[in-house]
Structure 1
Amino acid sequence: MEHVLDNPIYYALTSGHRHISKGTDEVKYYVEDITAFAGLKDNSQENLNTLYHISPAESVFVFFSKTPVEISGPWKLLTHIDMFQFIFRGKEIPMADASEITELDLKHVNEMIDLVELTKPGPFLARTIELSNYTGIFVEEKLAAMAGHRFFPSPYREISAVCTHPDYLGKGYAFKILQEQIKRILLRLEIPFLHVRNDNEGAIKLYQKLGFEIRTDMIAYVIKKEV
């Protein structure tokens, strides 16, 4: 039987995020402006064709696969990203000082988008904040670091958009924010997981220090709908 984390987007869209999904029983995608991810029950050409026919014109989607997928018409492959999927295996709930951490809301969205554009942790759209629990650290009223939640294939909750402004690297801000994110997820009796490029050595070491372990390899495919 397939584990939900082998296909986290599809199972998020059929469980914890059913209310913000569109599509069919086997082909799902997030409501526009929330995030540009699609989840297929299996990554077959038939399901990719279905996604093409039910989605808006000029759509760009990201979908995940544990194994390589051949992308052909009517989709154009823009890029693919080799990643690790990490799951939290820590033995204790982090209880670090959270006094520097600010709850991010709609008034911060422009700053959040600017930070994501600068650091490229993954897609972040106008309504991505609706995925919940975005927190940040400000230095002299400037957003220095942030993270939040993304996929929710219940009972697993993904930590995402982990990024730090280049001017503030090495100050431990990401570590503090991640500790708070982990704590909140565990206190809800959920299990934290995340994805990271497999060549991002600094982030990998940070996640391992926090108690995450590699669960599997994962590939992110970015595809565009060709007219």
Structure 2
Amino acid sequence: MSHVLDNPALASLTGPHAHFAERRGRVLRYPVDVSPWLALPDELDVEDWADLAALAGPGGEVPLLGFRGEIPDGWEFTFQVEGVQFVDDGLVAAPEPEAVRLGPADVPEMLDLVRRTQPGPFLPRTIEMGTYLGIRREGALIAMAGERLHPPGWTEISAVCTDPAFRGEGLATRLILAVAHGIRERGETPFLHTGAGNTNAIRLYESLGFRLRRSTVFGAARAPEHLTDERELAVS
């Protein structure tokens, strides 16, 4: 049997995040202002590709988390980057006294911080996926981290970022451990993803007590410009 972390988006959208799920056939996705991630079945058939194309719209781009297979004629890969998945293997998780819980009123500042630091996808309603903590100095948001995918029994730590002017103070470490503490308090286990080439992040995660669980891939593909109602998108 596969592990829930082998297809974490599917496990999330059929589990704790089912209330977000938008479905077409066997393809599920988050609302487009919540998260770009969508959930694919482990093995895609012709109908799944047609449903995915319908969700994407003509020429639309969709993310393919963990997908290493072939795409049908008419589709085009737009990028593929090797990634890694880490799981808690002895984190010294602890609350962070300086951290504050962020809410909807903080989203404009969060979006600005993400724009300047590029930690990965964060959209206007991403904050609804879980708890987000931030650190402020003189009223300004300078660092944050929070929760994203939520397979049963697990929660992903994501959007870890620090204003460049405040790097080197260990703020990311403190926020990761604080978010992990909240996850553990619910009886769940933290995990996270990063790029396989992000050696600085990998070194940090391993030093904190994360263990490499598996390799994965972050990718995206563009749907055909002209869609058909018939299920004729055969894999080449």
Normalization by structure 1: what TM-score? 0.91
| Alpha-carbon displacement from aligned partner over 1:93-144 (angstroms, at most 9, x marks no partner) | 5235x22101111111111111112222211111111112011111222221
Is the 1:85–1:216 contact (alpha carbons within 8 Å) kept by the matching residues of 2? yes
Match of 2:93 in 1: 94
Are 2:111 and 1:113 equivalent residues in the alignment? yes
State the Cα distance separating 1:69 from its structure 2 match: 2.6
How far the C-alpha of 1:43 sits from its partner, in A, is 5.0
Deviates most, 126-135 or 114-123: 114-123
Unaligned runs of 5+ in 1: none
Q: 1:85 to 1:24 in 2, by over 3 A?
A: same
Whether the 8 Å CA contact 1:52–1:74 is kept in 2: the answer is no
Shift of the 183–13 alpha-carbon distance from structure 1 to 2, 3 Å rule, reads: same
Aligned counterparts of 2:10 and 2:142: Cα–Cα separation in 1: 32
Paired residues of 1:36 and 1:60 also in contact (CA < 8 A)? no
In structure 2, what is the equivalent of residue 28 of structure 1? 28
Tell me, yes or no, if the aligned pair for 1:9 and 1:63 is still in contact at 8 Å: no
Q: Quick one: which amino acid aligns to residue 63 of structure 1?
A: L
Alignment length (residue pairs): 224
Matched position secondary structure for 2:64: strand
CA distance in 1, matches of 2:114, 2:11: 25
Q: Residues 60 and 125 from structure 1, CA distance in 2 versus in 1: closer, same or farther, beyond 3 angstroms?
A: farther
Where 2:158 maps in the other structure, the secondary structure is strand
Match of 1:48 in 2: 49
Deviation at 1:56, TM superposition (A): 4.9
Alignment partner of 1:204 out of 189, 197, 202: 202
Q: How does 1:54-203 map to 2 (within 5 A)?
A: 54-56=55-57, 59-65=60-66, 68-90=68-90, 94-96=93-95, 98-203=96-201
RMSD: 1.9
- SS class of match (1:170): coil
1:125–1:73 CA distance, 2 compared to 1 (3 A): farther
Letter in 2 for 1:145: A
Q: Which moved more, 1:210-219 or 1:48-57?
A: 48-57
Point out where structure 2 has 5 or more consecutive residues left out of the alignment.
226-236
Aligned-pair identity in percent equals: 35
Question: Secondary structure of 2:127's match?
Answer: helix
Moved over 6 A (4+): none
Q: Is the 8 A contact 2:92 2:208 kept in 1?
A: no
Q: 1:44 to 1:102 in 2, by over 3 A?
A: same
Counterparts of 1:81 and 1:120, CA distance in 2: 16
The answer to which of 120-129 and 70-79 deviates more is 70-79
Separation in 1 of the partners of 2:171 and 2:56? 38
Q: Displacement of 1:55 after TM fit?
A: 4.4
Question: 1:219 matched to which residue of 2?
Answer: 217
Q: Which has the higher strand share?
A: 1
How far 1:205 moved relative to its partner?
1.4
Give the secondary structure class of the aligned counterpart of 1:146.
Answer: strand
